[in-house]
Amino acid sequence: MKNYGFPLGIAALVTIIAVYVYGFGTGGTFQMAEHALRDALRTKSVAEQAPDDRIKIIAIDEESLNQLGPFPWPRSVYADMINNLMEAGAESVALDLLLIDPASDEQDDALLSEQLQRYPQVYLPVQVTLQSRQPDAESLLVERVDRPAASLHVREEQLGHVNVLPDPDGVIRHMTLGLRDENGELIPSLDVLLANRMLPEGERIRWEEEKQAWLRGDKPIPTDARHQVATDFFTSAYGYGESELNGYDRQSFIDVLTGVVDAEYYKDTTVLIGPYATSLSDKHMTPLSRTMTLHGVEIHANMVQSLLEGRFYKEAPFGWNVIALAAGIAAAAWCGNRVRGVLGAGCALLLAGLYTVIWIAVYETGSVFIPYFTEICGMTASYTLLLAYRSREERRARQQVEELFGRYVSPAVVTELLRSREPIRVGGTRCDITVMFIDIRGFTPLSERLAPEETIQVLNQYLHACADVIFRHQGTLDKFIGDGVMAIFGAPYPLERHEEHALQAALSLVKRAELLKQTLGAKDIAVQFGIGIQSGEAVVGNIGSEALRLDYTAIGDTVNTAARLESQAKPGQVLVGEETVRRLGSRFNMSEVGPLKLKGKSEPVLVYELLAEQEEA
Q: How far apart are CA 422 and CA 58, in angstroms?
A: 78
pLDDT of res. 365 = 82
Domain hosting residue 357, numbered range:
4-21+315-386
Classify residue 396: in a domain, yes or no: no
For every residue of 165-233, DSSP letters joined together read PPPTTSB--EEESEEE-TTS-EEEBHHHHHHHHHS-GGG-EEEETTTTEEEETTEEE---TTSEEEPP-
Q: Are residues 537 and 583 in the same domain?
A: yes
Would you call the peptide bond into 411 cis, given omega within 30 degrees of 0 as the criterion? no
Q: Are residues 600 and 495 in the same domain?
A: yes
Classify residue 414: in a domain, yes or no: no
Q: How far apart are CA 601 and CA 216, in angstroms?
A: 96
pTM: 0.63
Name 575's Cβ contacts closer than 8 Å, sequence gap at least 6: 531, 532, 533, 565, 566, 568, 569, 593, 607, 608, 609, 610
pLDDT of res. 515 = 86
β pairing state of 186-188 and 92-95: unpaired
Q: Are residues 224 and 166 in the same domain?
A: yes
Classify residue 394: in a domain, yes or no: no
Domain-terminating residue out of 274, 293, 312 = 312
pLDDT of res. 389 = 81
Contact at 8 Å (CB) between 430 and 533? no
Contact at 8 Å (CB) between 362 and 323? no
Q: Are residues 300 and 344 in the same domain?
A: no
For residue 583, give the nearest of 433, 443, 448 by alpha carbon.
433
Contact at 8 Å (CB) between 86 and 122? yes
Q: Are residues 220 and 301 in the same domain?
A: yes
Distance of CA 356 to the CA centre of its chain: 10
Q: How far apart are CA 513 and CA 351, in angstroms?
A: 59
Phi and psi (nearest 5°) for 67?
Answer: -90, -35
Instruction: End-to-end CA distance of the chain: give it in Å, rounded.
Output: 49
Classify residue 463: in a domain, yes or no: yes
Mean pLDDT per block of 10 residues along the chain (617 residues) reads 65 77 63 76 67 93 92 92 95 94 90 95 94 70 90 95 87 91 91 96 93 92 89 64 61 94 94 89 76 84 92 80 84 78 82 87 82 83 83 76 62 62 62 95 81 87 92 91 92 90 95 84 73 95 68 90 95 94 89 90 91 68
β pairing state of 186-188 and 228-230: unpaired
β pairing state of 528-545 and 574-577: parallel
Beta bridge partners of 474: none
For residue 401, give the nearest of 423, 421, 419, 417 by alpha carbon.
417
Q: Are residues 451 and 381 in the same domain?
A: no
Q: Are residues 333 and 481 in the same domain?
A: no
Burial-class residue 490 by CB neighbours within 10 Å (0-12, 13-18, 19+): buried
Q: Are residues 167 and 306 in the same domain?
A: yes
Q: Are residues 166 and 291 in the same domain?
A: yes
Classify residue 397: in a domain, yes or no: no
Count of Cβ atoms closer than 10 Å to residue 220 Cβ: 13
> Number of helices (H) and strands (E), helices first, in the chain?
17, 26
CA distance to 78, 120, 160, 419, 609, per residue, from 151 (Å): 15, 17, 18, 89, 125
DSSP 157: G
Domain-terminating residue out of 312, 341, 358 = 312
Q: How far apart are CA 18 and CA 324, in angstroms?
A: 11
Q: Are residues 248 and 139 in the same domain?
A: yes
Greatest Cα-to-Cα distance within the chain, rounded to the nearest angstrom: 139
Distance of CA 506 to the CA centre of its chain: 55
- The CATH number of the domain holding residue 459 is 3.30.70.1230
Q: How far apart are CA 587 and CA 504, in angstroms?
A: 11
Give the count of domains, the chain: 3
For residue 497, give the nearest of 434, 539, 410, 422 by alpha carbon.
434
Q: Are residues 362 and 462 in the same domain?
A: no
Q: How far apart are CA 617 and CA 403, in angstroms?
A: 42
